[in-house]
């Protein structure tokens, strides 16, 4: 039985260059959990744990049906109240908006054959084992970003504004405007990787 690795099947989705590029992102589906607040806090960590516990439960359910897949990289959408923080540019936002104000949607991409019924069963099984209430909040989330500008960010998260500034300049030059939430794909495990070695795809849907 061949194991489906989404990062190999959809290389355009999971790779980026060290300079801004325009990509067309096809619709995809994800296990997802939303939240608000500081990503360095305990609540954020607990949501990640709930997401992975369910993702692995789902994986093993499909493995037993000969549809095994590799659990994908962690991703997140990030946004804030733009009426409250009007006029702040994408590269300024990480520095000027307090972390408590940020909202997010954690994501793990899953194969197209995953359905709501199996996700519900995986949630029940994961909750039965872990007893984590957050598992019950998980959902199967559909996303279609379409045209996007992306760039590979190398290094710690607090240096992201430097990469975002390059992307913002590129978007202005191309006449693009924002068309969705800021998207990050964590190619490195930030719990095990030195900050200077982190690799993160930064993606901005545009039109």
Segments in 30-148 forming alpha helices (H): 42-63, 93-96, 116-130
Per-residue model confidence (pLDDT) at position 177: 96
Residues 117-130 have pLDDT tens digits of 999 999 999 999 99
- Mean of pLDDT values over 52-59: 98
Residues 141-197 have pLDDT tens digits of 999 999 999 999 999 999 999 999 999 999 999 999 999 999 999 999 998 999 999
Helix axes 42-63, 116-130, angle to 10 degrees: 120
Q: Is 186 helix (H, G, I), strand (E, B) or coil?
A: strand
CA distance 149 to 55: 28
189's tokens: 């495990």
Is the pLDDT score of 55 beyond 70? yes
List all residues 6 or more positions away from 106 whose beta carbon is below 8 Å from its beta carbon.
32, 33, 34, 35, 47, 48, 51, 74, 75, 76
Residues 65-100 have pLDDT tens digits of 999 999 999 999 999 999 999 999 999 999 999 999
Per-residue model confidence (pLDDT) at position 1: 65
Is residue 35 within 8 A of residue 102, CB to CB? The reply is: no
- Mean of pLDDT values over 39-50: 95
Residues 27-38 have pLDDT tens digits of 999 999 999 999
- Quote the pTM value: 0.97
């Amino acid at each position: 039985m061949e194991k489906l690795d989404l990062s190999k099947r959809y290389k355009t989705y999971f790779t980026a260059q060290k300079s801004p590029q325009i990509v067309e992102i096809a619709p995809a589906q994800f296990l997802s959990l939303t939240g608000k607040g500081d990503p360095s806090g305990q609540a954020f960590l607990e949501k990640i744990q709930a997401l992975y516990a369910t993702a692995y439960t789902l994986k093993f359910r499909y493995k037993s049906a000969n549809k095994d897949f590799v659990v994908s990289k962690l991703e997140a959408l990030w946004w804030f109240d733009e009426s409250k923080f009007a006029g702040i540019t994408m590269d300024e936002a990480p520095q000027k908006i307090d972390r408590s104000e940020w909202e997010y949607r954690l994501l793990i991409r899953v194969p197209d054959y995953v359905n709501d019924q199996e996700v519900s069963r995986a949630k029940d099984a994961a909750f039965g084992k872990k007893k984590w209430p957050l598992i019950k909040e998980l959902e199967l989330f559909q996303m279609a970003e379409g045209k996007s500008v992306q760039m590979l960010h190398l290094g710690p998260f607090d240096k992201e504004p430097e990469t975002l500034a390059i992307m913002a300049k590129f978007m202005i030059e191309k006449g693009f405007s924002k068309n969705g939430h800021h998207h990050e794909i964590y190619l490195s495990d930030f719990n095990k990787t030195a900050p200077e070695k982190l690799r993160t795809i930064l993606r901005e849907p545009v039109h």
